[in-house]
Structure 1
């Protein structure tokens, strides 16, 4: 049996992705589930996070969002039976690559997959759904009547945030990074119910001058938004090709209303004393979105499973409608993962 693994490069060297032979133990553990993988999502490997958690290996398993069918269960497994369709995310310390034909995973990392939901769809969108749910429910305490600003709403994560927020009666504003994305966001409609636009205002940021603050204040009657969810921020005024479309940290703080919540994906965010003073004056809060915290800690395992179940059920019901991801065959996995790792591609799905 073969799986996809990453051999971390020395210092600044590019990591290498290789197909390696692997095998499973003959005896299945008491709480383990043996799953035949049907589809696997590929996301970048966070080497710094693995180092921080003390997970250091010569070969790091790649591909952690999996969907498949249960083949065998351990004698103490209570949630699943053979032939159940399941979906889940392998923990950071899992020895298995999700791109193996058959994997072993603890039952507490899996949930039932709704029958009408395709394996490719759920494997490709599960991580973004988990991130959106964590950002809006766990961190921002989203409620009906709130106003939300989603940065780069046409991204897979931004799209999930928009759809989830609209489902809960939240007024959504977003930014667009190209004319095509702008048109896409303006044409977003719910799958059921009243066909009003999902986004009340799409703010273009691709034309050089950002009107973020005046537009947000106009839409909110000068009050600012209750929640901001970013997908990265600019820490300095100088712009590079990578950061020119990202909002400056001061712009985000400026658009927050009193008591607002800023949920950031920026791992190395630095705030100066004036920024902190501005947040203090608004009694606003800042939260870091680390979606790996659920599998890195077992403290809230039940809550994590509840979130996963809620996400897949909302996908099945059409509340969350991810952009369809074209599946790639297994023989293209190494090349595809290399493009994902260097951020030339946001994510990918491999169909087995």
Structure 2
């Protein structure tokens, strides 16, 4: 969404927008969230050809926005922009050429930016159906975080009940869902987290391990002497070498993000280079038969038929009570900065959600 002279600042507090107006959040540059994340008001968009207008019920807050704030996300948008990776809402206008969707349908989408506003114009082809019976915050927690967890577990690995896996960040937005899905699948899960979150990890059905353990590979080998069949890593860097050392023969290391701690704003691609370099090197080593059958993959969630199928399955599991995403906080649009601050402080368990 572009910003122009028709926009007016809106107070950073909950409140009804003017009739016919759109309230949104914009990120204006790198820095502290309180200084760089603000609400504003502008005209309500209209649905163009092959597009729909959605009134947002809930929009997710994720670590991607932390990376964008620090200008350390891969291929970051240009400031200023409206953040927001995913959303759940209801169609209020259908543009010319749209088939299969109608006004009133409840939908989910992953636009990667632009979700933090009351009204969002979206391509109809990117939508997935969101069930009426699910709470909006729960439904949006399953969009990016849920599909990421589900696809890493069921599409990138070939795991069998009784095997052992390691989940880094087991109390986080993706990690908690991944842990719960793995336990439901009959897997033994070792989950890293800070000691303050170990009880939460146990409640998910996993065995907690302090992520600050000096020799974490050795600690995991004590718990699983033969190694683990999969490691799910959201940290990147040298931690990927420790993850590789934990794997049993034929195991899989999945890198699905990279920590940006210690990088200067603007070094947008550097945090992700170590994972890319290691993935390429291990691919060729595997071709040469040098990895003992172990492999490494980088994962990036994307919309499409598989996304829609897997999102529908996650919604079914949530509706049946098998999967209950933890909601760390529900915030009005004016509370976006506070939600990002909570992620920066590392105190959250589960997903922060904006509710316009």
Residue 134 (structure 2) pairs with residue 113 (structure 1): no
Task: Give the aligned partner of residue 290 of structure 2.
Answer: 280
Report the Cα offset of residue 85 of structure 1.
1.8
Aligned to 2:9: none
Report what 1:133 is aligned to: 150
The equivalent of 2:13 in structure 1 is none
- Corresponding residue to 2:352 among 309, 323, 348: 348
1:233 shift after superposition: 4.3
Deviation of residue 160 (structure 1)? 0.8
Match of 1:320 in 2: 323
Show CA shifts across 1:8-36 (max 9, x none): 24xx798722333333455x334212211
Q: Give SS of 1:60's match.
A: coil
Question: Which of 194, 200, 206 is the matching residue for 1:184?
Answer: 200
The count of corresponding residues between Structure 1 and Structure 2 is 308
**TM-score of the two chains, using structure 2 as the length reference:** 0.74
Cα pair 1:262 1:286 within 8 Å, conserved? yes
Which of 44, 61, 65 is matched with 2:82 structurally?
61
CA distance in 2 between counterparts of 1:349 and 1:7 reads 20
CA contact (8 A) 1:90 1:98 kept: yes
Deviation at 1:184, TM superposition (A): 2.6
Give runs of aligned pairs for residues 73-222 of structure 1, distance below 5 A: 73-92=94-113, 97-178=114-195, 180-188=196-204, 198-199=205-206, 201-205=207-211, 208-210=213-215, 212-213=217-218, 215-216=220-221, 218-219=223-224, 222=225
Q: Following the alignment from structure 1 to structure 2, what is the Cα–Cα distance between the partners of residues 3 and 272?
A: 39
In the alignment, the residues of structure 2 paired with residue 202 and residue 161 of structure 1 have an alpha-carbon distance, to the nearest angstrom, of 14
How far has the Cα of 1:156 moved from its partner? 2.5
Contact 1:151 1:158 in 2 (8 A): yes
The correspondence of residues 295-334 of structure 1 with structure 2, limited to 5 A, is 295=303, 301-333=304-336
Q: Distance in 1 between matches of 2:184 and 2:296?
A: 24
**TM-superposed deviation, 1:4:** 1.0
Shift of 1:138: 2.8
Offset at residue 211 of structure 1 (A): 5.9
* Structure 1: distance between partners of 2:58 and 2:241: 41
Give me the whole-angstrom Cα distance separating, in 2, the residues matched to 1:157 and 1:338: 16
Structure 1 residues 233 and 19, CA gap change in structure 2 (3 angstroms)? same
Equivalent in the alignment of 2:18: none
- Once the two structures are TM-superposed, the CA of residue 73 in structure 1 deviates from its matched residue by 2.0
Distance in structure 2 (CA, Å) of the matches to 1:272 and 1:104:
39
Gap runs ≥5 in structure 1: 189-197, 236-247, 296-300
Farther-moved stretch of structure 1 (141-150 vs 259-268)? 141-150
In the TM superposition, residue 134 of structure 1 has moved relative to its aligned partner by 2.8
Q: Deviations over 1:190-235 (max 9, x none)?
A: xxxxxxxx33x433445x555653553553xx42111111221452
Match of 1:253 in 2: 244
